[in-house]
Amino acid sequence: MSDRVYPSTKPKPTAGAPPLPNPPSKFRQPYRPTPRQPVKKTKPQLSCRRCCCLVCFWSILLLTLTLLAAAIAAAAFYALYHPHRPAFSVTSLKISAFNLSTTPADDSTRLTAKLNLTLSAKNPNKKFLFSYAPISISLQSDSITLANNTYPAFNSSPSAISLIHTSTPPRTQLLDADSLNSIKSHLRRGGLPIRILLDTTLIVRMDNIKTKRFGIRVTCDGIHGIVPKGKTVIPAKTTDAQCEVDLRIKILKWTF
């Protein structure tokens, strides 16, 4: 018994025709997206530059607030108490001795002078007491120091006027040509311009509160001193005398 040969149902490609596409697969795999890796959350880190900026910002802010608070406190203190610096004036001045002597051996000239001075120191405050340290007094004419002395420490009560009286010891000094010519020029015009310089330190007290000691300089100008004639001492002209008080407050290394 012979086997039957059945013809194939698949058509044979003809010569020159393109190949037939494969039939679609009956078992197509479904689309599954690739899972994403979880993102790790990291804490933000401050850079060195940002830290420096923050430190500078807070430092400047604190400094500004401190200065503002100090200014407000100072304004409130001034409004409540109205503090005033001490006031000085020249009461009298006399040149009690004045002598120019020349040495023939070297043709040098020496000046010997002695002065009597009275100043008034007023405390214009109603609630503050001034405590003065010893006062250094210098009397000058142009750049020449005629005499100097010291006055002891004292206290000036509120609204009080204290008198500072001193008689300087005789001072002898050698004059150069410029100083001698300056003095002779003033003497020909009838007298000497005199400046008074006072240097001391001061403490301000109010009840149990007191400040640190700070320096003051008093400068008195506008004084016309008259040289004595023989034994007659003539008072200086002090009607145009004016005294200025400068506070020398030291903060760290600076003095104002």
Tokens of 44: 């933000």
Tokens of 118: 């009275």
- The predicted structure's pLDDT at residue 133: 97
- The predicted structure's pLDDT at residue 25: 55
- The predicted structure's pLDDT at residue 89: 96
- The predicted structure's pLDDT at residue 31: 59
Which residue positions in the chain have pLDDT lower than 50?
A: 251-256
Q: What is the DSSP string of 148-211?
A: EEEE--EEE-TT-EEEEEEEPPPEEEEE-HHHHHHHHHHHHTTSEEEEEEEEEEEEEEETTEEP
Task: Please report, for the chain, the start and end positions of each structural domain, with discontinuous segments joined by +.
Answer: 49-81, 83-255
- The predicted structure's pLDDT at residue 132: 97
Determine how β-strand 161-167 pairs with β-strand 250-251: unpaired
Tokens of 24: 């679609």
- The predicted structure's pLDDT at residue 12: 58
Q: Mean of the per-residue pLDDT values for the chain?
A: 83
